[in-house]
Amino acid sequence: MDQPRSFIFDRYPRFAARHPWRVLAVTLAIVAALVVSARAFGGSYTDSFSIPNTEAQRAIDLLQARFPSQAGDSSTTVVVHAPAGISTPQVRAQVDQLMAELKKLPEVVGVASPYTQPDAISKDGTIARIGLLYDAKAQNVRTSSIQALANLRGQVSTPGFQVEVGGQLIRHVEMGGLGNTELIGVGAAVIILLIAFGSVVAMGLPIVSALLALGAGLLGITVMARFVSLPSFTSQFGAMIGLGVGIDYALLTVTRFREGLAQKLSLEDAIAQAGATAGRSVLFAGTTVVIAMLGLWAVGLPFVSWLGTSAALIVALSVAVTLFVQPAILRLVGHHIDRWRLPFLPTVSHESESGLGYRWSRVIQRAPVPALVLSLGALLIMAVPLLSLRLGSSDAGNNPTSYTSRRAYDLLSQGFGPGFNGPILLVVRVDTPNDPATIARVEALPAALKRIAGVDAASPPRFNAAKTAAIITVTPTTSPQSAATSALVQRLRTDLAPTLQGSGATVLVGGATAAFIDIGDRIASRLPLFFGAVIGLSFLLLMAVFRSVLVPLKAALMNLLAIGAAYGVLVAVFQWGWLGGLIGVRPGPVESFLPMFLFAILFGLSMDYEVFLVSRIREEYLLSRDASASVARGLSLTTRLITAAAAIMVSVFISFAFGDNRIIKEFGIGLATAIFVDATLVRLVLVPAFMQVAGDWNWWFPGWLDRVIPRISVEGHHLLPPPARRPEPVPVRHRD
């Protein structure tokens, strides 16, 4: 039955085809408004975040209420390494001169001398710590002030008097902004699009659309950063997602437009057909990604939720540009889309019974069961390392050695022990400050702490003026990323509670190390709910699209297998250290929030390929009612597209693995692995093998479900040209 012509998928594409300059004028006006807004209201990124309803957050809240001078994160450590000895007269004079220069830096309100602070000089006397305090929290310190500190370090540091800067503040200069990895990804996309399209003009359209959406998205995120806390790697994360999905969505639309021209449609009809078919697929796939990213709000961690929202914004803008701007661009390009063709490369193909995809599908369909078993076995083997997954957090020790924060980290570990870079903060709430017995119990805590396994040192308690709160800094014997440090945090929380029971004081275990443990625990507790919600919603959406029970079930299981394989590769590379030297990483835990983010992104992106491929198979099945031939024809029509789209995404994502940020490296490797597996083992082997075995059962849909589940169309059959008469399908011979 013909469907009514919709505004988005028919009337608007035709309007844009008739008035392209109006559409582009409105687009440029919107971009200009975003530029003005970003300049006027743009904020800065920060790695400070809250973790509601956790012990680490309660410790922060207690400090802010009773000991605000110790609740900030604006302190910075300047590390000095002098092989001749920190206390020699010449070096001491250099240190005094350095402190004098530090006091002159903008926004600095305090400089702590290593000669007057306890334990600020290493036991061998060659490494010293200078404490630097700013008058604002880290996210509020001006970038120019941080840069002034970095410049001073570069001026005074010499081989005999090495000066490095550690702490959260310096990471804003080191980690912020975009780098060369984005250019590598775009360059790879250009080459792949040239091969896929065989035309320079056709190649340029997806690049232009993706960059337009990405630019608008980054401007919007800059404004968002003014009002909410976004991590320092947000722009890199957004660029990775925006380039990948933006190019892919535009690629699908351009491909359908060129097919329309090859079928001798008018420009307006070709644009309308692209909107009715590819446009529906893009909207459906993009909506799935957006919903999955917004589902991260269920985690209950604001920084995770807002990072997901920023990614959702970029994906939504990629969909919007594809649906509302690209029709106008296609109209202006028109029949010139195949200009500047490259020799020996085809420009477009809409034949369903020729090509490598068709022949490959027939090979798989002749032996579907062995293909199914072998591909499933390969995916399960790739997922085996997942059983050893250990979640944690990255720190300055994961930075490249070219960063001053990494060199400071190494010097502090060398001079003061591996646990110095990950201190555990004990915050004591004193409800009876006038009781000498209570104060004595608190003062006795360091002695008790030193008897706990894994504790290297414990500072004397520092009380506020009213003695209603105190802090004790515990230095572990192990590094912040060590599993032993995580175990120590849990042990402190268990063992210290009875120590102060009935004393009028309570102790909370906090600090950055404890905070990341709480993040991991929170995410682990919400993972089953989140996974179930995303899988369930995807299952219902695919049922509504394909009117099938088996196809959505198959999609959910295969997506899980692809994601499991990606997790396995992450563990092997980042946790076990396999091939880590190629991308400059050392073994350590996988970032605690990474599995949830990867699941949200990958489940959404894998739905793209599911929609692209299965919608074409369904089109063919509705035309021929031949389950076997429709799979081969659908694969023939989409193999080149899916291969190009996957190659672009893999190239974009893998390019980010060669950047400096470990978290972005993990995202890049995980996303590239899953997309590669999804586009090869899953789409080219598992799908045709499974659908061949299932036959007509692929499209079984009970009548009662048909009445209950609403219909969602991604094919747009009412706007497709009548199919040409096809020869009878070639029967597939199965091996006995």
Q: Measuring CA to CA, which residue among 259, 252, 218, 272 is closest to residue 322?
A: 252
Helix (H) or strand (E) holding 282: helix 280-294
Within a domain: 516: no
Cα distance between residue 247 and residue 265, in whole Å: 25
Domain identity same for 92 and 216:
no
Please write the tens of the pLDDT for every residue from 484-503: 888 899 999 988 877 787 78
| CA torsion, ordered 359, 361, 366, 367, to nearest 10 deg | 130
DSSP secondary structure of 110-133: EEE-TTTSTT-B-TTSSEEEEEEE
Q: Measuring CA to CA, which residue among 7, 645, 715 is closest to residue 323?
A: 7
Confidence of residue 393 (pLDDT cuts 50, 70, 90): confident
Cα distance between residue 555 and residue 464, in whole Å: 59
Domain identity same for 529 and 618:
yes
Please write the tens of the pLDDT for every residue from 626-676: 888 888 888 887 777 788 888 888 888 888 888 778 888 998 999 899 889
Residue 225 CB coordination number (10 Å): 23
**Strands (DSSP E) found in 125-274:** 127-134, 162-166
Domain identity same for 308 and 169:
no
Place of tokens 């919107």: 30
Domain identity same for 677 and 574:
yes
Residue 719 has pLDDT above 70, yes or no: no
Give this prediction's pTM: 0.81
Cα distance between residue 463 and residue 378, in whole Å: 59
Helix axes 662-677, 550-570, angle to 10 degrees: 140
DSSP-based three-state secondary structure for 136: coil
Cα distance between residue 306 and residue 21, in whole Å: 35
* Dihedral-angle region of residue 111 (phi above 0 means left; psi in -120 to 50 means alpha; beta otherwise): beta
Domain identity same for 238 and 114:
no
Report the share of the chain in percent with pLDDT over 70. 91
Is the CB of residue 612 less than 8 Å from the CB of residue 545?
A: no
Contacts of 365 (CB under 8 A, 6+ apart): 628, 631, 632, 688, 689, 692, 732
User: Distance between the two ends of the chain, CA-based, in angstroms?
Assistant: 41
Confidence of residue 570 (pLDDT cuts 50, 70, 90): very high
Residue 101 has pLDDT above 90, yes or no: yes
Residue 730 has pLDDT above 60, yes or no: no
For residue 459, the domain's CATH number is 3.30.70
Pick the residue with more confidence: 406 or 180?
406
Residue 735 has pLDDT above 90, yes or no: no
Domain identity same for 552 and 667:
yes
Read off the pLDDT of each residue in 196-203 and give the average, rounded to a whole number.
82
Domain identity same for 592 and 706:
yes
Query: Which tokens hold the place of 261?
Result: 């021209």
For residue 585, the domain's CATH number is 1.20.1640.10
Report the share of the chain in percent with pLDDT over 90. 30
Please give the residue range of the domain that contains residue 217: 177-224+232-342
Read off the pLDDT of each residue in 177-190 and give the average, rounded to a whole number.
72
Domain identity same for 484 and 535:
no
User: What pLDDT is recorded for position 247?
Assistant: 87
- Give the amino acid at 621: Y
Domain identity same for 164 and 195:
no
Number of domains in the chain: 4
Which range of 389-398, 503-512, 565-574 scores highest in mean pLDDT? It is 565-574
Cα distance between residue 383 and residue 596, in whole Å: 16
User: What pLDDT is recorded for position 95?
Assistant: 94
Confidence of residue 302 (pLDDT cuts 50, 70, 90): confident
Cα distance between residue 330 and residue 347, in whole Å: 16
User: What pLDDT is recorded for position 73?
Assistant: 56
Residue 465 burial (CB < 10 Å; 0-12/13-18/19+)?
Answer: exposed
DSSP-based three-state secondary structure for 530: helix
Domain identity same for 620 and 673:
yes
Place of tokens 């060669």: 658
User: What pLDDT is recorded for position 104?
Assistant: 92
Which range of 12-26, 327-341, 391-405, 578-592 scores highest in mean pLDDT? It is 12-26
Confidence of residue 5 (pLDDT cuts 50, 70, 90): low
